[in-house]
Amino acid sequence: MIGFETIGNATITVFDDIPVLTTDPWIVGKPYFGSWDHAYTIPNTQLDNIKKSKYVWLSHGHPDHIDESSFIHLRNSIILIPDHYGDRIFNHFNENYNCIKLKSNEWFQVSNNVRVKSFADWNQDASLLIDILGKDIICDQNDGSLLGWSKTISNIVQNYKNKFILKLLNWGDADMINLYDESGEFILPSAASQMPIGEAYTRTMQNLGYNYAIPFSSMHQYVREDSYHMNKFCTPLDKFSEGFVNTYGELLPAFIQWDSIKEDFRRIDCIKKPTHPIPIHEFGDNNSDELSLEDREKIENYFRAFEALPKHFGSIVFTVGSKDFEIGLSKKKTSIRFETPRNSLMQSIKYEIFDDMLIGNFMKTTLIGTKSLYPGFAPYVGKYGDNGLAKTEKELKKYFDYYKLNSADYWRDMLKFKTESIVRTLIGNNKDIHNFARRIKQKYF
């Protein structure tokens, strides 16, 4: 069989008689400190195809895309890694695996009938174009926004007969949404509005010229007892087609096998995984644990390394074991309070993956004098700093200079990115205005 199948959360397996490529293989484990699990089982046949793939492409550093516990099954695969600034992912895997770094916007031949182009962006995400037989093109956009490459990718895609778009489109829970205001009230996220996702797929296909779309990068559920309540914001599988109009193409099921010779697909049957709240002690956490003096020193050193933070925030406060620890940054009135168990927090500091604490949505985050973690906190810490290894002003300049030189559509997409960041800062998590802004973005960008 020549074609591909979609399975799991954000995994595509491509076939040229045999499995030749798999993307972002989260197949076991519970990422985000145990907060996430698969929403649907992966059948044994598809698991075997993933394990037998010659190449594995990794888009970015989030653990639902790079799950360490899954790689015990992929020892024989060659790891393909985008040319992200800082090379954190490449350097990590290159120690124990056969790795190839893919230069952006250059074709890499996977097999006789399959080739790929990888596109790294300044938000430490990446997208992948998969060419099958010269007539099928898959844009694996996963969690990214094609930053620096949107026009270039669009131009390439138009040359193909069957054009597939696979990207994160959901109600919006795959982000930091466990947010509270200064009065202690939960800030209702945009996910609560349950926007018709089918409408977003229709707009995407219309604006970007795809004739097939597949729900993607959204197949998770919450299982930690302190994040379990967030399941009400997850998009059920039967809601992805709500509002979809097939004027521009077809919205396929989430789990399919596509035959590129017959130009047809069959559905892969996956069972909804039963779930129940898992006590946090099973993940090493205890709400009564307090920070030691050594812990406090490590946390303070970690956050003081990000030179951009004092420009946006006066302090960061951690409430751990019912005791507060404050890091003073500047004289500004704005502050962020994080209430979280100790063990997960210290793991995130040790391994420099604080973004995992935010997206896990078990940590209670209170915004004081500010409406959003964007743009002053989240990207500087999780994206440019932890993943891109750029924390000082000097490092950040080198970081963005790199993407200016290595992104064909940098200035066009930076305008879009800054516009979105300004909107997010002004409106915070106001779901009605946020949804309106998202519609504008999808229509004009």
Q: What does the pLDDT look like over 342-380, one tens digit per residue? A: 999 999 999 999 999 999 999 999 999 999 999 999 999
pLDDT in tens, 271-281: 999 989 999 99
Per-residue pLDDT at 80: 98
At 229, is the secondary structure helix, strand, or coil? Answer: helix
pLDDT in tens, 152-183: 999 999 999 999 999 999 999 889 999 999 99
Per the CB < 8 A criterion, the answer to whether 208 and 157 are in contact is: yes
Per-residue pLDDT at 440: 45
Please state, in angstroms and as integers, the Cα–Cα distance from residue 250 to each residue in 165, 185, 244, 353, following that order: 11, 41, 9, 38
User: pLDDT at residue 432 above 70?
Assistant: no
Per-residue pLDDT at 416: 81
Indicate the pTM of the whole model: 0.93
At 133, is the secondary structure helix, strand, or coil? Answer: coil
User: pLDDT at residue 186 above 80?
Assistant: yes
For the record, the structure tokens of 245 come out as 């109009």
Closest to 152 (Cα-Cα) out of 365, 373, 406: 406
Which one-letter DSSP state was computed for residue 354? H
CA distance 342 to 281: 11
For the record, the structure tokens of 323 come out as 């005791």
User: pLDDT at residue 68 above 90?
Assistant: no
Closest to 131 (Cα-Cα) out of 161, 170, 102, 175: 161
Per the CB < 8 A criterion, the answer to whether 224 and 283 are in contact is: yes
Per-residue pLDDT at 445: 40
Per-residue pLDDT at 421: 60
pLDDT in tens, 372-421: 999 999 999 999 999 999 999 999 999 999 999 999 999 999 998 777 66
Average pLDDT, whole number, for the chain?
A: 94
341: cis peptide before it, omega within 30°?
no
CB atoms within 10 A of CB 178: 22
**Mean pLDDT of the 206-230 span:** 96
